[in-house]
């Protein structure tokens, strides 16, 4: 069980905070991320910036070292993971609070002061998060989706993403991030922090601006594939505890995606074994059932998305198409996790394939 400490937050002073940035080949975005921290409302003498580099081959490390006082950690792992970088970063510091950031984000000027105030007023909080907004949702459907799905409703919540302020005591108590996960490491840590007795708060305030820079369908499919892998990897760790965290999400993917695949396969196979009108009818029924199962969100949930996401009908339809189709690459991600676990070949990141980009060309 947690043991809360004030760390000076009840004495009217601003506590110190370590800002940990992670990145690989992040030369296009890192400088603006660092500047956003230095130009914020929190006094710079209360901030230490630590950049944990996962093995860049570009000028990322040199950019970080251009800033006086910024610590650049060159990790160079064979297979980088977000958890490796974040753990190295917070363990290199000593401040009572740690703000984690991805290198492709810009921190809102007022965020740190607001989040630290919330921590000081609520010693039961282990983590505080705010809104992450996309800089260019108009640039692609995929950027727009990211802007829609990054955030939760204000109030107490179960988990957080890559941008979050965490109490060092909660990190030390839980051991920090799982360094083997290639996806889902942030919600998994959030689950363990909650399980340790801490609370997680979503503030009604902007925390970071982000550039997903997702302009191609191939990027979208790859991201969905990795999210399915992450669902399965995290659930495999949590399932032995009996907790239902992410269980419903994994069931939704396997039911809809797996049901569609089975129905489509049936539609193809039935005529091969039953060469008569009945076989043709059964084949069509199987295909119709498969299509309904897959596209049920588009058929039945447009109105629900309009209410819950506060979308107009056109945007709700776009979101419904996404919710229908995304389960297929996610299903293959789940299958990949279980196949990898059976064969002893988990999914691993490749340094050369990791980099941050921009939705708009640099001038």
DSSP state string for 62-113: HHHHTSTT-EEEE---SS--HHHHHHHHHHT---SEEEEEETTEEE-TTHHH
> Is pLDDT above 60 for 77?
yes
For the chain, the structural domain boundaries read 17-215, 247-342
> Is pLDDT above 50 for 35?
yes
pLDDT tens digits along 91-101: 999 999 999 99
Rounded-to-integer distance, Cα 278 and Cα 274, Å: 8
Report whether 327 contacts 295 (CB < 8 A).
no
pLDDT value at position 44?
92
Stretch among 13-27, 97-111, 348-362 having the lowest mean pLDDT? 348-362
4 falls in which pLDDT band (50, 70, 90)?
A: very low
Q: Is 218 helix (H, G, I), strand (E, B) or coil?
A: helix
Report whether 165 contacts 112 (CB < 8 A).
yes
Round the average pLDDT of the chain to a whole number and report it.
Answer: 93
Percent of the chain topping pLDDT 70:
96
Rounded-to-integer distance, Cα 337 and Cα 251, Å: 15
Rounded-to-integer distance, Cα 323 and Cα 315, Å: 12
361 falls in which pLDDT band (50, 70, 90)?
A: low
Rounded-to-integer distance, Cα 129 and Cα 127, Å: 7
The structural architecture, per CATH, of the domain 17-215 is Alpha-Beta Complex (3.90)
286 falls in which pLDDT band (50, 70, 90)?
A: very high
Which residue(s) pair with 22 in the sheet? 52, 102
Average pLDDT over residues 120-138: 97
Distance of CA 225 to the CA centre of its chain: 13
**CA dihedral (352, 356, 359, 363) positive or negative:** negative
pLDDT value at position 362?
60
pLDDT tens digits along 187-240: 999 999 999 999 999 999 999 999 999 999 999 999 999 999 999 999 999 999
């Amino acid at each position: 069980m947690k043991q809360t400490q004030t760390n000076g937050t009840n004495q009217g002073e601003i506590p110190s905070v370590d800002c940990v940035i992670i990145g690989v080949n992040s030369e296009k975005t890192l400088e603006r991320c660092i500047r956003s921290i230095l130009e914020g409302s929190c006094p710079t003498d209360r901030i230490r910036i630590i950049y944990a580099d996962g093995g860049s081959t570009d000028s990322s490390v040199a950019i970080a070292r251009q800033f006086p006082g910024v610590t650049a950690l060159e990790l160079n792992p064979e297979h980088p993971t977000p958890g490796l970088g974040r753990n190295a970063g917070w363990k290199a510091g000593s401040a009572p609070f740690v703000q984690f950031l991805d290198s492709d984000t810009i921190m809102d000027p007022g965020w740190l002061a607001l989040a630290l105030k919330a921590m000081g007023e609520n010693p039961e909080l282990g983590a505080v998060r705010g809104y992450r907004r996309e800089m260019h949702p108009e640039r692609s459907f995929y950027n727009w989706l990211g802007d829609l799905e990054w955030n939760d409703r204000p109030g107490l919540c179960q988990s957080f993403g890559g941008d979050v302020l965490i109490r060092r005591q909660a990190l030390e108590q839980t051991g920090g991030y799982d360094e083997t996960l290639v996806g889902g490491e942030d919600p998994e840590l959030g689950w363990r922090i909650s399980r340790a007795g801490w609370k997680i708060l979503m503030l009604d305030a902007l925390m970071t601006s982000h550039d997903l820079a997702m302009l191609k369908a191939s990027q979208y499919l790859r991201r969905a594939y990795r999210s399915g892998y992450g669902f399965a990897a995290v659930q495999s760790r949590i399932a032995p505890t009996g907790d239902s965290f992410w269980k419903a999400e994994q069931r939704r993917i396997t039911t809809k995606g797996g049901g569609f695949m089975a129905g489509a396969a049936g539609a193809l196979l039935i005529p091969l074994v039953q060469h008569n009108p009945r076989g043709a009818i059964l084949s069509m029924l199987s295909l119709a059932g498969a299509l309904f199962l897959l596209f049920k969100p588009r058929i039945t949930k447009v109105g629900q998305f309009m209410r819950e996401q506060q979308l107009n009908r056109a945007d709700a339809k776009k979101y419904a198409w996404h919710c229908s189709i995304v389960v297929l690459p996610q299903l293959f991600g789940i299958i990949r996790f279980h196949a990898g676990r059976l064969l002893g070949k988990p999914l691993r990141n490749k340094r050369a394939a990791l980099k941050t980009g921009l939705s708009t060309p640099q001038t």
